[in-house]
Structure 1
Amino acid sequence: GGDMYQYGQDISSKGKENIKNFISDGGGYIGICGGAYFTGEKIIWQGNQLPMTPLGIFPGTTQGPFDEIIPYPDYGMCKVNIVDSTHPITESEPDSAWILYYWGPAFIPNDNAEINILGKYNIGNKASIVAFNYGSGRVFIIGPHPEFEEDSDRDSVNFADKFDDRGSDWDLMKKAALWCLKK
């Protein structure tokens, strides 16, 4: 999570190149919300392309937020449909999950991009969970926030506890981490 615009300002060109080389050389990258926006070749925020240099490892555009999901600047729960149940990250996941939406992106791949769309927002049917190879490494990006346990103290965070996530998303994240680590 975090602010992709700050990442663009605070991480130098050399720093971005180091991240890209780390992944390409066999490392992993997990991007949630702001960290996912940052991966796009182009970032569209509230209908405008941001004047920044993103990481550019996702072959396409990261775009959001979407008022039809949750009107900006509010946040709340959104339904994500799992659309690829054959991928190691999602093969044992339920057909859908309720995940905190806090202005996250959708992923619009370029034509012929070699990515796996694992999940889509229920409203708008836009890609919300994506996995792909980058050189010898692996990348997992997700628009909403699966790291929060909205109705549980397990995460030691009170933020968004007023919501019910109808189950934990931590297993999804564990599988994403293991996949990125090639375990």
Structure 2
Amino acid sequence: MGRLSVYIPELGGNPDVEDTWHTVGYASPFAGATDVEKNAKDGDAAKKMEGTQTSYGWWMVPPDINNQVLCCFVNGDTARGYWFACLYQTFMNHMVPGVGLNISTDDEINAKNLPPTCEYNRRDASQNIWDPKRPVFTPLHDALVKQGLYTDAERGPSTTSARRESPSKVFGFSTPRGHNI
């Protein structure tokens, strides 16, 4: 249930030897189930929705490898560890909570419109991290072109991004595949 193996340098071990890592469970900011004491004990009622528990809460996918998470250990017991938050990598929050517009690596597209873009490629040594060019986020770009929405201020491209202003005034959620709420 959302378990991760994490390497924590402060607790020792070897980052290359997973046997020295710690397994931690997921601690959701909101989770639960209705009161078990209200369940039906037997008969037809026990087989119906009204006679059993329902679960609720917030569930997230675990982060990709090479991301950092915050962990805690109940009463210092490393066998009772939980991860409860993730940290953004430096300058890697342009697509959150929406895929914002930016100068892209495609000069032909830039000449027409500022397109929705991905994060910049940190492994590209030619990038200027203070003013990077980013690859076009193709699914959204293609949809805007197909639907003729590039010049529509209401339904077209968005500047919504955690990097738009500081302090950020945006709120939302992005999935690893770029879907936004």
Question: TM-score, normalized by length of structure 2?
Answer: 0.24
Higher percent of residues as strand: 1
Larger Rg over CA atoms: 2
Higher relative contact order (CA 8 A, sep 6+): 1
